[in-house]
Amino acid sequence: MTSVQDHIVAHDPENLKEFQGYEKLLRAVGQALERDHLQSFELTPVRNGFHIRGSVAPVAEAGVAEAMASRVRSLLNKLPNHRNGDEETPLVSESVTAPVEIQLTFQDIQQLEIDGRARRVDGHSMANAAGSSQVLRCLGAYLNHKRARLLRLTRDARSVSLEYETSLGSQIKEGFSAKDLYDMWVRKYMQRAGRLNH
């Protein structure tokens, strides 16, 4: 067992022999976040898995919001003193969000990994670099490389903040922009493509 696995297993000593550090583990968590349409989130390790707090834009609610905005605009245009210029101020936020809390156990994550493997039929297909599964996979590989233990990971629309503990016990907080994450993903993809071609 690697020191990375030791760090993870410290949260749940009975599990995670299947996971080789954080990379596969966080990719599976990312698949759950994509499935649940979480736009931004905070992920923290707990004894038997991860606790995730975030916000989601439900497709149905977003459609309802746009329909409401359209109807209100229509009604306002009928008022005599309403200015019908080219510049429209949105009356309803275009992104309706709802708070969400998720508790993922390691058993849940193992099932997500199995389900994800079944969906990934073509190993040569291009994944979505900005998707949570790929972002978290890259950050998992980053943690593995540093032999670090995850403390907290926070993602919003523009960046990711990663807090971890090094093998020497130092606590570090790093920020990654969308460009940083994309560059990290490209390097990872190229390494993987090189392995598949040999």
Going by C-alpha positions, the residue among 26, 8, 21 that lies closest to residue 112 is 26
Decide if 101 is inside a domain: no
Same domain, 116 and 173: yes
Give pLDDT, residue 1: 39
Asked whether residue 16 carries a pLDDT value surpassing 50, the answer given is: no
Q: Calculate the average pLDDT of the chain.
A: 75
- For residues 168 and 183, what is the distance between their CA atoms, to the nearest angstrom? 28
Same domain, 113 and 188: yes
- Could you report the per-residue pLDDT of 68-111, keeping only the tens digit for each? 555 545 554 555 554 554 444 443 344 567 888 999 999 899 88
- Could you report the per-residue pLDDT of 136-184, keeping only the tens digit for each? 999 999 999 999 999 999 998 889 999 999 999 999 999 999 899 889 8
Radius of gyration of the chain (CA): 21
- For residues 103 and 179, what is the distance between their CA atoms, to the nearest angstrom? 29
Decide if 111 is inside a domain: yes
Give pLDDT, residue 59: 53
Same domain, 121 and 167: yes
- Asked which of 96, 126, 155 is the last residue of a domain, the reply is 96
Burial of 108 (0-12, 13-18, 19+ CB in 10 A): middle
Domain that holds residue 92: 58-96
Same domain, 35 and 132: yes
Decide if 67 is inside a domain: yes
Decide if 158 is inside a domain: yes
Same domain, 173 and 193: yes
- Domain count along the chain: 2
Same domain, 169 and 119: yes
Tokens 């670099």 locate to 129
Q: How many CB atoms lie within 10 A of CB 100?
A: 17
- Could you report the per-residue pLDDT of 29-83, keeping only the tens digit for each? 999 898 888 879 999 999 889 999 998 765 544 454 555 555 545 554 555 554 5
Same domain, 63 and 153: no
What percentage of the chain reaches a pLDDT higher than 90? 32
